[in-house]
Structure 1
Amino acid sequence: MDPQNSTNDVNAEENMLLTHARTLRIHTGNLVNRNRLKKKCPSSPSEELRDCIQATLSDWLSMTKPPSEDLTDTLDCSVPQATDVITPEEREEVKVSVKLFLCDPIQSSIRDAVELGCQTLAVSQLDSVIIAPPALVEGDSLTLAHLQPTWEELETLVRSQRIAAIGTSDLDKDLLEQLHTWAQVKPSSNQVNLASCCVMPPDLTAFAKEFDIQLLTHSDPKELMSAAAFQEAVQEGTQDLNVVDWRLEWVLRYSIIVKSRGIIKSKGYLVSARKTNP
């Protein structure tokens, strides 16, 4: 068989899968045990995510059987040997911490992300979820009105016991106080980006101490991944297929931490994208 014809057949199969699908779900698997990324030490969370998407799609497509006549609307892309579920025996020994980056303001995205996170890791509840709202239009400032719909959805998930504790990201003292006063389920944590704040603001520190809110640090950019960067990563992982219609919905980054030792046993990303044109 001509190698060129074989390659063309594979590309045609990939085109068929992605052309028919309306939703794309990517699970990178446990990055602690994976050595397949292009760069051993990514320079930023954005670069790490980009490399993860590219590598996962490339590996998944290389393992995917030719599509049958019944093509699916949802592509679940993961590499079986790279995944890492939590067994019932070890559940009490580990903490599942999540940061959810929203790229789409639709509130159902939060519920979908949490449900997929629980399903993927084989747990009934996430121990903590920190929310990173969608990036605002340049010049706009984050307000309580922006946060309220998102927070109400998180509160619903707390009441249904899908999440144990919920937290925020990059709120100053005034906005954190407004959210704390309004919310029925109070924020348990607030992340602060030390790239723009070398020292924790004293007013934020005092407020957090008074109301038992844990202050954490992070190095994530305001926009974890742009639309162009996502499409480029998908193109690289799928051998330059046409992906301009795909829109990133959300990114869920999880860490599984061994409580007694404080070490990260597993970490990875879940990514969801949707096709904009039917």
Structure 2
Amino acid sequence: LTVKIFLKEANEQLVSDALETTLNEMGICSVETVILSFKPVSDEDVYLNSLKKLWKVLESLVGKGLVYTLGVCDLNINHLQTLYEWAEIKPIINQMNLANCCVIPPEMSQYAQNKEIQLLTHSDPVEILSDEALQELLVSKFAVQWVSRYSVLIKCRGIIKSKGFAVKAKNSKK
């Protein structure tokens, strides 16, 4: 069972909230893998510091037995190396968007192979659920805080048994 958490802001509480809500909705107590999707910001230092804070929360969830392995989404080679060298619990997956990457850069491929990181592809949009799309569904003004997508695979067969989404939005009326 894999859960991919799409965060719209670098808020550590939202990581725990997304996973715990997804676990409750599915009626389970743990997942095999959590993949973090967090949109980069232009300031590299701010992005890496935010990523590290979010990763610490993920590591604590592993410590609590809620998650067994961790992955990331759309990290470039520099971000992946920085996270990997810094992290106590190493990422074992880096999902790469097919829209941005037709050919995996050789340095990324070599690094991932050396560190036993799976390079997987995805075709998810950068923003899985925009505030505007949510507005079309709801009457009040809401802002998306996070979206998690889960998929349950039949082990060793690669068959999707079930999949779904959980969403948290806050009322943005002032």
Of 130, 139, 161, 1:226 maps to 130
Structure 1 equivalent of residue 59 of structure 2: 155
Structure 1 equivalent of residue 149 of structure 2: 253
Give the count of matched residue pairs. Answer: 173
- TM-superposed deviation, 1:134: 4.2
Post-superposition CA distance 1:67-111 (Å, at most 9, x none): xxxxxxxxxxxxxxxxxxxxxxxxxxxxx1111001232211111
Measure, in 1, the Cα distance between the counterparts of 2:98 and 2:172.
36
Kept after mapping to 1: 8 A contact 2:10/2:51: no
Name the amino acid aligned to 2:78. D
Name the amino acid aligned to 1:205. S
Kept after mapping to 1: 8 A contact 2:148/2:165: yes
Kept after mapping to 2: 8 A contact 1:102/1:251: yes
Is 1:97 the counterpart of 2:34? The answer is: no
Of 159, 164, 169, 1:263 maps to 159
The TM-score with structure 1 as length reference comes to: 0.59
Measure, in 2, the Cα distance between the counterparts of 1:273 and 1:220.
20
Structure 2 equivalent of residue 35 of structure 1: none
Instruction: Note closer, same or farther for the CA distance 1:263–1:123 as it changes in structure 2 (3 Å cut).
Output: same
Kept after mapping to 2: 8 A contact 1:143/1:175: no
- TM-superposed deviation, 1:146: 2.6
- TM-superposed deviation, 1:113: 1.0
Structure 2 equivalent of residue 199 of structure 1: 103
- TM-superposed deviation, 1:129: 0.6
Structure 1 equivalent of residue 17 of structure 2: 112
Post-superposition CA distance 1:201-231 (Å, at most 9, x none): 1100100010110110011122222211221
2:62 partner SS: helix
Instruction: Note closer, same or farther for the CA distance 1:160–1:166 as it changes in structure 2 (3 Å cut).
Output: same
Task: State, as a whole percentage, how many aligned pairs show the same letter.
Answer: 39
Of 124, 132, 149, 2:37 maps to 132
Instruction: Note closer, same or farther for the CA distance 1:253–1:153 as it changes in structure 2 (3 Å cut).
Output: same
The TM-score with structure 2 as length reference comes to: 0.92
Is 1:272 the counterpart of 2:168? The answer is: yes
- TM-superposed deviation, 1:252: 0.5
Name the amino acid aligned to 1:129. V
Is the strand fraction higher in 1 or 2? 2
Name the amino acid aligned to 1:255. S
- TM-superposed deviation, 1:260: 3.2
Which structure 1 segments of 5+ residues have no match?
1-95, 236-240
Post-superposition CA distance 1:101-148 (Å, at most 9, x none): 012322111111111111122221110010011463xx4457421311
**Structure possessing the higher radius of gyration over alpha carbons:** 1
